Each structure stands twice: as structure tokens, then as C-alpha cells.
Amino acid sequence: MINVTKTHLPPLEEYTTYLEGIWKRNWVTNYGPLVQELEEKLKTYFGVQYILFVSNGTLALQLAIKAAGLTGEIITTPFSYVATTASIAWENCTPVFADIDDSTLCIDPNRVIEKITDKTTAIIATHVYGNPCNIEALEKIGKHYNLKIIYDAAHSFGVTYKDKSLLQYGDISTISFHATKLFHTIEGGAITTNDPKLAHRISQMSNFGHTGPTTFDELGINAKNSEFHAAMGLCMLPRIESLILQRKHIAGMYDKLLHWGKISKPVLSTGTNYNYAYYPVIFENESVLLQVIDALNRQEIYPRRYFYPSLSQLPYVSRQSVPVAERISPRVLCLPFYPELPEKDISAISRIINNNC
């Protein structure tokens, strides 16, 4: 069976070495030394001033919204994982969808401007598949209209834009360290910012609002992560460059083997050094996509419709017109893509797709 992804695990002995240290210290959570070490190394890796390692990427988004003091309407993309919209709604804000660019599949800044009202407090934009948004345009809009810019950078580990990590942009960026990601801590995520006031508030909020052992000056939640998860991250971090190179090789194989007459790919933003987090393809129509999925499934090959459906169709949001997202979402398929994927399987997947388009 070939799934869309496969969790990469380091050699067991590397992880066990960290476990032995945890057992000796008997310090398993509450901001232990491995969590602190991981945060420091990630701070250096991303080139950011502040980072907080949290339980998951969804909670990172929720904390970002809460810490930024957002209310009212938040303009966001309809083409992302459900967590992007769900976090906005969960924090009692209203998701307002701006349509996407049909080449990069990221939020279209021109459509963002059309959606701004006196109730708008922020823009939450996703770097789709790790492909950077139009950062310059979005941040110009944010400054002009005094809106916070939060980037959902869930897929962006290792991506640089104009020689800077994507995590350096915006008022706040969030990232996922879920087991399906390029870099993972089994479960986890992080929030980055270069704003000391936001960083302080996020830190307090992530730990019940504590300001001392018996003082609680801020509304908080438990967003902490454990030493066991940090240990996995410390094992994974030195392997990232090698993993990206392996993924780049597999992407190159798909590029050569697939017939591009009737399928296409998102266009990578100029100035991007990519991490090859996913391999999405866009079919002519949904019928062809479903035919391809059926043919692959019959061979026990399981790609993923990612992202589908358009978030504008969620039952807990008001219906809004986003024709580009609703046209593209039913036609996108992420192919199996991970470093251990054998070349013979890449060839077989490509052949099945070519024969059914």
C-alpha cells in the first residue's frame, strides 16, 4: 500500500539517547531543557527573535488570533486546510474569504482589498504547500489599513523567500510540526514573531496566563508541549537538508514522467527556495481527477484531495463567492511523496495518471 505520505523517523538509537536523559532528569513537561534547546535551535534556523513550541499547529493559530487581540472580521483564504478557517471561527471571529490567485493558489491581494470593511482586523494568509504568498502586496495592505498580518506557514519549514525564512514575515507566523510534515515532532507546532510584546503575551497565554506561581494576569490555555516531542524534533532537525534534497529528486522524477498536456502544477513564487513539501497536480476537471483516484486506489495507491472542498463551503461559515477556489479545489490532487518512495512506484503512479487523463 502506498499512502500520500509516510512519517520519516530517525534511527531509534538517536531518539533513545534523548529518552535516557529524560528518565535521568525525571522532567517530562512544563518547559523542560529539551523544549528550551529545540526553541533555541529553531530560533537560529528561522532567524527569528521569538519562537514558542506548542502542542500543535491549530493551537498556534488560535493563540496567534487571541494574543493579537483580534475581533470582528478576518480576511482569509478559502484554499487551505480546515484548521485555518476553524481557528478563526473558534476564536469568535468571522472568516471573510478572499479568492485565490489561479497560478500560485495563494490568496489574491487584489481580492483582499475588495473585502476590507470597518470590521476587518487582520489578514490570515496561507503559504499554500509552502509556496509563499504575495508577501509584499499583503504587507503593504496591512500597513495601509492598519491590519495585523498572520501567516499560516504550516507547510513552510525550510522555505526561504528572498533569502529569508518564510517564518520571518508578518506580525506572527505559525507552523505545524505534525507527523505528516517535512519536519515533525510527532505532534506539535510553533508561533514566531519579532514583536516582543506579542511574544510575551503569547508566552503567558500558552501557560494558563501564569505570571507567577499563584498569579494569573492573562486569560490563558495549556498549549505546552513535552520533552518527548522536543526530543523527536532535535533528532529531525539535522536531517532536514538531506530530506529536502531527496524530495527534490522525487519531484524531478514526477516532472519528467508525467504528461503535462492535460495536467498542471501550481506556479512557484519568484524568489523562492522551496522545500518540496507536497506534489500537487491540477486536472482538467473533477471527473478526470476521480477517474485517476479510482485507478490509483485499485492498485492500493492513495493520493489525497488536498485541499478539498473549498473552505467557503464549510457548514459553519456564511456562503461567499470565491469562483477561482471553487473551480480549482475539486481538481487538485496531492500525489504520494516522501523520501523513501521507490522509483518504480513513482513510475507506476505516473503511468497510471498518464493513462487516465
Summarize pLDDT for 255-283 with one digit per residue, the tens.
999 999 999 999 999 999 999 999 999 99
| Domain endpoint, select from 238, 265, 296 | 238
Q: Write out pLDDT tens, residues 204-232.
A: 999 999 888 888 888 999 999 999 999 99
- Angstrom distance (rounded) from CA 123 to CA 112: 8
CATH number at residue 317: 3.90.1150.10
Residues 155 and 92 in one domain: yes
| Whether residues 60 and 202 fall in one domain | yes
Shared domain for 214 and 104, answered yes or no, is: yes
Asked whether residue 33 falls in the same domain as residue 73, the answer is yes
* Cα→Cα distances 214→90, 165, 208, 209, 211, Å: 28, 38, 11, 10, 8
**Percent of all residues in the chain with a pLDDT value above 70, rounded to a whole number:** 100
CATH of the domain at 119: 3.40.640.10
Within this chain, do residues 140 and 277 fall inside the same structural domain, yes or no?
Answer: no
Q: Provide the domain count of the chain.
A: 2
SS (H, E, C) the chain: CEECCCCCCCCHHHHHHHHHHHHHHCCCCCCCHHHHHHHHHHHHHHCCCEEEEECCHHHHHHHHHHHCCCCCEEEECCCCCHHHHHHHHHCCCEEEECCECCCCCCECHHHHHHHCCCCEEEEEEECHHHCCCCHHHHHHHHHHHCCEEEEECCCCCCCEECCEEHHHCCCEEEEECCCCCCCCCCCCEEEEECCHHHHHHHHHHCECCEEECCEECCCCCECCCCHHHHHHHHHHHHHHHHHHHHHHHHHHHHHHHCCCCCEECCCCCCCEECCCCCCEEEECCHHHHHHHHHHHHCCCEECECCCCCCHHHCCCCCCCCCHHHHHHHHHEEECCCCCCCCHHHHHHHHHHHHHHC
Cα Rg of the chain, angstroms: 21
Q: Are residue 201 and residue 262 in the same domain, yes or no? A: no
**Is residue 200 domain-shared with residue 295, that is, in the same domain?**
no
Q: What is the pLDDT of residues 289-308, one digit of tens each?
A: 999 999 999 999 999 999 99
Examine the pLDDT at 39 and tell me if it is beyond 90. Answer: yes
Residue range of the domain that includes 204: 2-238
Q: Could you tell me if 226 and 252 lie in one domain?
A: no
Q: Both 198 and 76 in a single domain?
A: yes
My answer on whether 212 and 253 are in the same domain is no
Question: How high is the mean pLDDT of the chain?
Answer: 97
Q: What confidence tier does 336 reach under pLDDT thresholds 50, 70, 90?
A: very high
Lowest-confidence range among 80-94, 134-148, 197-211? 197-211
Co-location of 152 and 245 in the same domain: no
Domain boundary among 179, 211, 238: 238
